[in-house]
Amino acid sequence: MLKVEAIQAGYGDINILWDVSLSVEKGQFTTIIGTNGAGKTTLLRAIMGLIPLKTGAIRLEGTDISRYETWDMNERGLCLIPEGRMVFREMSVEENLMMGAYPQKSRANAKQNLESVYARFPRLKERYKQLAGSLSGGESQMLAMGRGLMSEPDIILIDEPSLGLAPVIVNDIFDILRGLKDEGKTIVLVEQNTHRSVEMADHVYLMQSGKVILSQNAADVDLDALHDLYFAR
């Protein structure tokens, strides 16, 4: 469904991703793990067209999308729930959610999608008029996820949703991810929390220094061996 083929990309003259390849099947939960600076966020940015490729291709259902503009990606069914949430702080919860409904394909269903986001995240419904800048970290993460879901994505890319959150809130976030997986959504999760993310995954990639150093079915992953590789320098 989504194929990243030997891409190189980075920032200006600095290359970060070195021939990175990965493959995501429909309905699969894919986890990308790796230490700080491994290039996980850069990979998601490259998929979304936020940074240009130097070499390689990114194919969605066989079509090379690597030259498409970022704002076309939502229309094509890709959505990024970014690291750090990136909510519009001066806008209300509901206005933030409605911003997620801008792709043409999801506009007509915006009202109905809003209700389903509120059903999934009752806390957002309680706070629908509140400014996003006044939400807690966990609520902001839920808002970022809700905003992404408003675009009716086929593939959800989600970058370190547990970052900076208390363990009890991390449990809530993983429960939501589990729910999305059980509904058959295609999910690519970038995480540093190896236990939780591997447990939920169908396939696991481990990145280090801008390269994929392990690609394995989650059922075959030996967590001890994975941690040895993860912490190896």
Binding site for ligand ATP (CB under 6 A): 11, 14, 16, 34, 36-42, 83
| Residues 16 and 34 sit within 8 Å (Cβ to Cβ) | no
Q: Closer to ligand ATP at the Cβ: 40 or 181?
A: 40
Instruction: Give min distance, CB of 34 to ligand ATP, in A.
Output: 5
Instruction: Give min distance, CB of 104 to ligand ATP, in A.
Output: 30
Distance CA(136)–CA(141), nearest Å, equals 9
Give the residue from 100, 104, 108 showing the smallest Cα distance to 124: 100
Return the SS3 of 14: strand
Instruction: Give min distance, CB of 108 to ligand ATP, in A.
Output: 35
Instruction: Give min distance, CB of 14 to ligand ATP, in A.
Output: 6
Residue 217's alpha-carbon distances to 31, 86, 115, in angstroms, are: 10, 32, 36
| Residues 203 and 215 sit within 8 Å (Cβ to Cβ) | yes
| Residues 99 and 151 sit within 8 Å (Cβ to Cβ) | no
Q: Closer to ligand ATP at the Cβ: 38 or 187?
A: 38
Q: Name the token pair of 63.
A: 């079509």
Distance CA(85)–CA(33), nearest Å, equals 19
Instruction: Give min distance, CB of 159 to ligand ATP, in A.
Output: 7
Q: Closer to ligand ATP at the Cβ: 45 or 185?
A: 45
End-to-end CA distance of the chain, in Å?
33
Q: Closer to ligand ATP at the Cβ: 43 or 143?
A: 43
Q: Closer to ligand ATP at the Cβ: 117 or 201?
A: 201
